[in-house]
Amino acid sequence: MTEKITDSPVTEHRIITPGQKKGDSVSARARFFKKVQQQTVALPTDGSVAADIQAFCQRMAEFAQQIQQWFDGAGIRVTVASKYVQDLSTVGHSLNSGALRYEITTVRLQNDPRSVSILPEQLYRGGEKGCVTMTVNAPDRIPVKQLFYLCMAPEAGWFIRGEHQAIVKNVIMTEDIFFRAIENLA
């Protein structure tokens, strides 16, 4: 049901929701912004964004080093490289209020024809910080492709979850969980 309001130069219609009485002054716009405010995750300001980027880059470098140690002498090719991330998740949270660009470590594991790519994507996503995708490609296995989302755990290490799992399903990524996730690389 809608209510027509005629006391302004522009005719406005408000939706009357169940439990709301005709004449209540809460507009759809006000409800919308109230809902946005309730669901918005507070992102850090300038100083902590730089610190978060530094921590993200450091954590990825340490992760790459750990992976190299795990696979040393195993016959699996480990390629550690870097890429530049133009991070749109930092818009409005840096001194220039634009997206920040930074260089960060990437990892690729190759066991022909199977591979695992570990690629940093962005600093913030929802309530997560330090967001990385880990893709397991195994063209000769089922499933052919598996996608995992990693994010930085609060103090050290990483959280991991499957592609279709909610953030609440994040678990601390141990060595055992990592190797179970990339099992199709073998």
Average pLDDT rounded to a whole number, residues 40-65: 80
Confidence of residue 50 (pLDDT cuts 50, 70, 90): confident
Q: Distance between CA atoms of 102 and 157, rounded to whole angstroms?
A: 21
Structure-token match 């302004």, residue found? 8
Q: Distance between CA atoms of 122 and 130, rounded to whole angstroms?
A: 6
Q: Distance between CA atoms of 130 and 170, rounded to whole angstroms?
A: 14
For residue 105, the cross-strand partners are 82
Percent of the chain with pLDDT over 90: 61
Confidence of residue 25 (pLDDT cuts 50, 70, 90): low
Whole-number pLDDT of residue 16: 46
Work out whether strand 158-162 and strand 171-172 pair parallel, antiparallel, or are unpaired.
Answer: antiparallel
Q: Is the pLDDT of residue 112 over 50?
A: yes
**Left (φ > 0), alpha (ψ -120 to 50) or beta: where does 13 sit?**
beta
- Find out whether 87 and 123 touch, Cβ atoms under 8 Å: yes
Q: Which residue has the higher pLDDT, 50 or 83?
A: 83
Percent of the chain with pLDDT over 70: 73
Whole-number pLDDT of residue 178: 97
Confidence of residue 90 (pLDDT cuts 50, 70, 90): confident
For residue 158, the cross-strand partners are 152
Confidence of residue 42 (pLDDT cuts 50, 70, 90): very low
Whole-number pLDDT of residue 91: 83
Whole-number pLDDT of residue 37: 54
Whole-number pLDDT of residue 10: 41
Residue 138: HSE in the Cβ half-sphere, 13 Å Cα cutoff:
13
Question: pTM value?
Answer: 0.72
